[in-house]
Structure 1
């Protein structure tokens, strides 16, 4: 069984957030507070809100508003709130940009193996992206969860009566895809993405022989 992450593994995602953040940093930079300082405040707010509110563009926009309030020392004005709300359009798209090689690689892998999709975030938002990707037909099951931790992978293997050591989790996030999958006994394939969200970064064990490291999605065909 091959289990795939979605955002920034199958299609571009975080680059959209980063474009908005670039505009936000330009707006919020103040005398005595450079872009790095603003970003550090925002990262801290996002980390806290991910625990209590989850993931997705709505939580992200909420975090921007909270960041404005913290940096300004007051509640965001109506004008500031409207400016933040305007960025919602960046995420309200009727298509996704597939990463190079994804469609043809999945088509071939689906002929050889059972495939699952495992993604976290806002259910409605993730369902829309899956539908717009036109990839759902390659997967035996599509699972949208609030968090991807060890318990998530253990539950998935139980649901499909899988032997963990014969399953592979494939993704770009050390924090959500690789480390918890390995903790649950699965093998993993790490395909780095240049724009992986900073909160998804973590250290991987370079000596772990159960983690296959690839540089491009299409390389999966050489191994599976």
Structure 2
């Protein structure tokens, strides 16, 4: 069984958030606080909100508003709130940008193996992206969860009666894809993405032989 992450593994995602963050940092930066300082405040707010509110563009926009309030020492004005709301358009639409090699590689892998899709975030938002990708036909099952931790992977292996040692989790996020999957006894394939969200970073054990590191999605065909 091959289990796939979605955002930034199958299609581009964080680059959209980073474009908005670049504009936000330009807007909020002032002589008393540089871009790095503003970003540090925003990262802290996002980390806290991920625990209580989850993930997705709505939570992200809420975090921007909270960051404005934190930095200004007051609630956002109507004008500031309208500017933040305007960034919602960046996340609308019914198209996603597949990462190179994904479509043809998944089609071939689906002929060889059972595939599952495991993604976290806002259910409606993730469903929209999955539908827009045109990839759902390749998967035996699709799972949208609030968080991807060890318990999530253990529950998935029970639901499909999998032997953890014969299953592989494939993704770009050390924190959500690789480390908890390994903790649950699964093998893992790490395909790095140079724009992975900072909150998804993590240290992987270079001596862990159950983690396969690949340079691209298409390289999966050489191993599976």
Could you say which TM-score interval applies, normalised by the shorter chain?
over 0.9
Q: Please list every run of 5 or more consecutive structure 2 residues that lacks an aligned counterpart in the other structure.
A: none
Residue 166 of structure 1: how far off its partner (Å): 0.1
| Equivalent position SS for 1:70 | helix
Residue 63 of structure 1: how far off its partner (Å): 0.0
| Equivalent position SS for 1:212 | strand
Aligned-partner Cα distance in 1 for 2:190–2:198: 16
Aligned-partner Cα distance in 2 for 1:183–1:104: 31
Aligned-partner Cα distance in 1 for 2:110–2:19: 34
Aligned length: 224
Give the structure 1 partner of residue 217 of structure 2: 217
| Equivalent position SS for 1:99 | coil
Give the structure 2 partner of residue 160 of structure 1: 160
Residue 170 of structure 1: how far off its partner (Å): 0.0
Give the structure 2 partner of residue 148 of structure 1: 148
Residue 93 of structure 1: how far off its partner (Å): 1.6
Give the structure 1 partner of residue 181 of structure 2: 181
Give the structure 2 partner of residue 53 of structure 1: 53
TM-score, with length taken from structure 1: 1.00
| Equivalent position SS for 1:143 | strand
Q: Once the two structures are superposed, what CA deviation does each residue of 1:70-127 show, in whole Å capped at 9, x if it has no partner?
A: 0000000000000000000000021000000000000000000000000000000000
Aligned-partner Cα distance in 2 for 1:216–1:149: 24
Residue 30 of structure 1: how far off its partner (Å): 1.1
1:85 aligns with 2:101: no
After the TM superposition, which parts of structure 1 deviate over 2 Å for at least 4 consecutive aligned residues? none
| Equivalent position SS for 2:30 | coil
1:31 aligns with 2:37: no
Aligned-partner Cα distance in 1 for 2:109–2:202: 28
Give the structure 2 partner of residue 110 of structure 1: 110
